[in-house]
Structure 1
């Protein structure tokens, strides 16, 4: 009996030395606002959760560990989210999702609604992308929202689903692009609007109409007619002045094959998850966004090695996120 007791005592001693694995993590708080024209804007007690792949890339084992958000380039302060691409010379390239008090992703139902956000892109050079977009992910992340699971998009990463790129941008160029899907057939190229590509060569950039060296507000309106999405309209606000000319999208491919603008509107009506990320593109150097006919950047400027060596501090700040009735998010 004494031998057995000794073994039990030894086992207890060894177990006590094994570190406890955390079952949850401290999600950085990021208050947002849901607005109506009648009652104004009501604060939502929201937070952000890192995408599962971001955690795995940095050695975390999903929901079984407490993720170190700062080590992965993510921090919040008040209503502002800051994401760094590089942390101590390592590419973090984080992606996060908006999370509600119930532990699920927030589903934004935006048909005949608008979404606004304040943006600071001043440190994003050619080849970098500060992305603010919507994905028709499941609210519970397939059972893993707390771990940042369940990602999908129109490129069929994870799985195929509707994607609405509200803002893909750096300090040199920008685009907004709906990517509707019908079943597993998605419009991967999308129906984007890029001011530079449309001939507005002095619209976007440092010191230009939308001065990307300073903070500004991006307002995207999803206008419906007869219960269907009829157009997506963009406007900007900077220094207290509204700036038009941000673009309007009134069609998007074949309704029969990918769902078209109608399908995009149906997804917006059902509710989509807000995703935010910062990344660059070794294969194409983000030329589809900011070079050639799409922007003023030249070949070679947008390589990841060039960005890391010349712009190691590159980061994006999204703040003051509001959604609701058209005209309500920037009232006053």
Structure 2
């Protein structure tokens, strides 16, 4: 599902097989962010952005022949997972020319479709975290996401001797969907059992997936937004096998070590339809600031959201769903929401808020992305989902104003190739230090 991911590998508490090619120099763009100790007392820091390994050119070692073309592997170079790591190299990236990624000062712009010289790329991944965002150019069917995952800070370089690329080349990705579309996991190829996608010419599903805790700070377009913690019983990155992975890519969505659904707060879904969108309380036709606070620890942790726009601080909308209280994510809120909506509740089985708090305390990697959805057309974010539900009687099925016919990748890619999202002015610090 993730078409392209950008890691900001030096933010927050982040520290420090795949062979490396030499045809394209890997030059990381700098991006500044701020570490705050109190309101008005922030220090600028400089980090780097790096494109995820999954979307890089992968070619035969010492040559130019592709190891992966479209959604199929080169069966000569990649007879199995281990030989693929030995025979193939991932190369550096032309961030702007190929991927439409532009970093300048404290901002990062991700362009949806970029036509390069050799290819067309589609898409571009107790404290307070704040950023400015412009989603005015994101229509139905697109998701400009900013989130944290518990991947290894070095991309798995120390753990796996066959991984020669590491964080510099964006290796080691994982999330709570335990994605099986990754070309390399744990320093080996994901060739064995690979099945090309039937509707995505560039993707497929392999025999392994890569799991870890995920905190979705921001999944949004100009119509809808959601903040969602995804807990895992195994917090750090781990490799899974086949349909036992669970998540979007497996026959049994709930078979794995992670909670694929999470416990989301989407204002529209929680009954307030005039809060977020163009011309609404949070006006998405203009830039605004998103503030996320993590208050307390373990199962008592609360995830609280504010917005700042036009000089005004806007509290998150409160739920109007009968039996569901509040405007923040807590264990009580999740208990009530899952009961009211009749949704499967796997978060507690995977450690709930306690494991999410532990993942945050351990340090996570920031991912910024822009993607379209070949699995469900992004209807789970901005429309009625599942489609056969009636929002008037099936609580929680209404998620945004988009039509159920919207969001098909073929339509989004042809009609909105210039769609963009801009993230800027990232800050992290103690409560109430980064805004106001």
Do they fold alike, i.e. is TM over 0.5? Answer: yes
Task: Name the CA shift for 1:69/1:199 in 2 (closer, same or farther; >3 Å).
Answer: same
Q: CA RMSD in A?
A: 2.4
Task: Name the CA shift for 1:73/1:161 in 2 (closer, same or farther; >3 Å).
Answer: same
Per-residue deviation, 1:26: 1.1
Residue of structure 2 aligned with 1:275, choices 332, 347, 367: 367
Query: Which stretches of structure 1, 4 residues or longer, exceed 6 Å deviation after superposition?
Result: 57-63
> Is 1:249 matched up with 2:354?
no
Q: Is the 2:230–2:347 Cα contact (8 Å) retained in structure 1?
A: no
Residue of structure 2 aligned with 1:81, choices 85, 95, 108: 108
Deviations 1:125-172 (A, max 9, x none): 001000000000111110111110010111112521100000000000
Per-residue deviation, 1:310: 2.1
Deviations 1:256-314 (A, max 9, x none): 62010011001111111100000001221100000010111002221112212222210
Task: Name the CA shift for 1:240/1:51 in 2 (closer, same or farther; >3 Å).
Answer: same
Query: Structure 1 regions of 5+ residues with no counterpart?
Result: 1-19, 96-111
Task: Name the CA shift for 1:180/1:26 in 2 (closer, same or farther; >3 Å).
Answer: same
Task: Name the CA shift for 1:122/1:63 in 2 (closer, same or farther; >3 Å).
Answer: farther
Task: Name the CA shift for 1:91/1:21 in 2 (closer, same or farther; >3 Å).
Answer: closer
Q: Is the 2:276–2:283 Cα contact (8 Å) retained in structure 1?
A: yes
The whole-number CA distance in structure 2 between the counterparts of 1:135 and 1:181 is 11
The whole-number CA distance in structure 2 between the counterparts of 1:272 and 1:176 is 16
- Residues 153-302 of structure 1 correspond to what in structure 2 (within 5 A)? 153-157=175-179, 158-183=209-234, 185-225=257-297, 229-246=300-317, 247-251=327-331, 252=334, 257-292=349-384, 293-302=398-407
Task: Name the CA shift for 1:258/1:228 in 2 (closer, same or farther; >3 Å).
Answer: closer
Q: Is the 2:301–2:353 Cα contact (8 Å) retained in structure 1?
A: yes
> Counterpart of 1:219 in 2: which secondary structure?
strand
> Counterpart of 1:294 in 2: which secondary structure?
coil
The whole-number CA distance in structure 2 between the counterparts of 1:214 and 1:63 is 42
> Counterpart of 1:283 in 2: which secondary structure?
coil
The whole-number CA distance in structure 2 between the counterparts of 1:151 and 1:56 is 17
Task: Name the CA shift for 1:57/1:321 in 2 (closer, same or farther; >3 Å).
Answer: farther
Deviations 1:38-75 (A, max 9, x none): 88211111110000012137979998633100111211
TM-score, scaled relative to structure 2: 0.64
TM-score, scaled relative to structure 1: 0.83
The whole-number CA distance in structure 1 between the counterparts of 2:50 and 2:115 is 22
Residue of structure 2 aligned with 1:94, choices 100, 103, 124: 124
> Counterpart of 2:31 in 1: which secondary structure?
coil
The whole-number CA distance in structure 1 between the counterparts of 2:405 and 2:348 is 40
